[in-house]
Structure 1
Amino acid sequence: MITGLIIVLALILVLPFAFRKIEHNLEYFLLVMGLSAAIISGSLSLELAEHIFMNYLLYFITAAVLIAGLIFRISVKKIKEFVIFATTKIPLPLFIFLLILVLGLLSSFITAIIAALILVEIVHALPVKHGRKVLLTIVACFSIGLGAALTPIGEPLSTIVVSALKADFFYLARNIGIYVIPGVIALALLGAFIAGRKEAAAGVSEEDVNLDIEEEILVQAESLKAVFVRALKIFLFVIALELLGSGFKPLINTYIIQLDSRILYWINMSSAVLDNATLAAAEISPAMSLKQIQSILMGLLLSGGMLIPGNIPNIISAGKLGIKSREWAKTGLPIGLSLLVIYFGIIFLI
């Protein structure tokens, strides 16, 4: 069984980068992998199906994506006008800094999903090339993934942790805010640097032109059918995350939860492809020290932005903006690894 689960995990990590069809249909692929993991572990059952389809988040997330998509179809011109107006009144780097900072911190109250939907609508209208939009989107998704963990309404991980610890509403803000808030600020500064570098760049490459044409086609092709298909894909993606979490529990319970918190910190890089809420549910215990809880949570949160499947905001943004798995990994992996190294030193060595 364990061997089978390791094979499934390897397929999730490799196949989206190796085959374009899988990359373009990532939600369906993850659903198949989730079913495979659940079957291999023996966790596929009517009880699991009932648990998945009784989870209000499944419908809330899908409805949020659908409604935002419909609003986008009728408001795209107004959003673009607002962004153009704002970026003519203040420098683009400052606009990007404020965008990433505000969405990162606000996501803990409006949820990471809504923050991501606002992000993609604004990024669509930014006066920069597609390649720069990709970089800014990934940085912003790291910020949203971090900031959403400050309250139990921000994302499923924080809800599960607060429930497991029987903690109060601001428990996470008090105990990981000291790590999360500086991280959000640093990511906002990184976004501003990226935007500023773009303004200073001279000339336009042929690749930039091609990507711009591709993006214009993407925007123009947005139809009512496309909005509903994207919502369906998100619906299937959430189901896939639930199946993956349930399927991989034997692997987690057998080899992971007994490990030292410093090792868990690095092993939690697996949240780049697995549901971090499931990992948190398996690892977090009231018997742990605050340092252990902090290290586990930061490992999960920092890894979530590294690849598209790592967070729901990632897959919402990637799907809407046409960001490919390789594009995301090219930026997400270096940022995630850098943050993990920096925070490891802060948490364990200082």
Structure 2
Amino acid sequence: MIAGLIILLLVILFLPFFVKVIEHNLEYFLFVMGIIGVIISKQMNLKLFEHIIQNRLIYYITFAVLIAGMLFFFFRSRINKMIELLTNKISIQFFVFILVLILGLSSSFITAIIASLLLTEIMHHTPLERNTKLKVIVLACFAIGFGAALTPVGEPLATITISKLKADFFYLARAIGLEIIITILLMACLSALIVKKANKVDKDEYIENKEGIKDVFLRAFKVFIFVFALELLGTAFKPLIDLYVIKLDAKILYWVNMISAIVDNATLAAAEISKEMTNEQVRAIILGMIISGGMLIPGNIPNIISAGKFKIKSKEWAKIGIPIGLILMIAYFILVFVLKI
């Protein structure tokens, strides 16, 4: 069973980079891999599907994407005019800096889902070439992923952590607040720097939103499949986590939690976080999860929503996300474990 799960993990990690059909249909691929995973781990039963179907978060995410998509669809012209007005009054790099900063910091209260929906729609209307938008989106998703961990409102990872530790509302803000704020500022600065070096295109030159109402519904359905798949994968890999991961030293846990790039981090948190852990161990686990969550598309809900909206390929995301993630992993490893800041 364990060997089968390890092989499955490797298939999920590498196949989307080499097979175009899978890359373009990542949601359905992960769903199939999730089914195979629960079969391998011998957890395939009706109770599992009942549990997932009864999870309100799946419907909240799906309907948030659907409703936001419909609102943006019907008010597209007004949004476009507003952004055009703003970018004419202030520099585009300052606009992007403020956007990433505000969405990153506010995601802990408006949730990572709403923050990413705002990001995708606003970025769609900015007069920038696709490659520049792609880089900004990946950086912004890192910022949103970090910011959402400040409070239990932002995302399930934080909610589960607070619940498992029986901690107060601002526990994570105290534990990793400094790292979160620094990272959000860093992502905002990098985004502004990228935009400054890029060419601002004329309105007639950049790609307008051509999606119809059918596309809005299809995107919401794909997000539903994606989240369902992540639930299946989290369940499938739980025996592997229980057997090997949770027994590891905090320093090793930090790096091992890079599997959060493809496995639901809420599932990992539920399996790993314990009230008996030290603050250092909790910091290591949470930081490892939220950093690696930005590295690949399945790693975080904001990534999934943004990639679906902009049709970002796995290779495109990884080309930007992995280097940034690795640099952050090394930097925070030194800060937390070497310098013990």
Using the size of structure 2 for normalisation, the TM-score is 0.96
Q: Distance in 2 between matches of 1:80 and 1:343?
A: 39
Structure 1 residue aligned with 2:258: 269
Structure 1 residue aligned with 2:227: 238
1:269 CA displacement: 0.9
Structure 1 residue aligned with 2:84: 84
Q: Distance in 2 between matches of 1:87 and 1:299?
A: 36
After superposing on structure 2, the runs of 4+ consecutive aligned residues of structure 1 that deviate more than 3 Å are none
TM alignment of 1:1-350, pairs within 5 A: 1-199=1-199, 215-216=207-208, 219-220=209-210, 222-350=211-339
Residue by residue, what CA displacement relative to the aligned partner does 1:72-103 show, whole Å, maximum 9, x if unpaired?
11111111111111111111111111100100
Residue by residue, what CA displacement relative to the aligned partner does 1:203-254 show, whole Å, maximum 9, x if unpaired?
99xxxx9xx77x44xx21x112111111111111111111100000011111
Alpha-carbon RMSD across the aligned residues, in angstroms, is 1.6
Q: Distance in 1 between matches of 2:138 and 2:40?
A: 33
SS in 2 for 1:257: helix
1:119 CA displacement: 0.2
Q: Write the letter of the residue equivalent to 1:258.
A: K
SS in 2 for 1:274: coil
Q: How many residues align?
A: 338
Which ranges of structure 2 fall in alignment gaps of 5 or more residues? none
Q: Write the letter of the residue equivalent to 1:168.
A: D
Q: Distance in 2 between matches of 1:238 and 1:252?
A: 20
1:167 CA displacement: 1.1
Using the size of structure 1 for normalisation, the TM-score is 0.94
- Give aligned-pair identity as a percent: 56
Which ranges of structure 1 fall in alignment gaps of 5 or more residues? none
Q: Write the letter of the residue equivalent to 1:254.
A: L
Per mean C-alpha deviation after superposition, the further-off stretch among 43-52 and 101-110 is: 43-52
Residue by residue, what CA displacement relative to the aligned partner does 1:97-133 show, whole Å, maximum 9, x if unpaired?
1100100010000110000000000000111100000
Q: Write the letter of the residue equivalent to 1:276.
A: N
1:154 CA displacement: 0.5
Q: Distance in 1 between matches of 2:39 and 2:156?
A: 24
Q: Distance in 1 between matches of 2:311 and 2:41?
A: 34
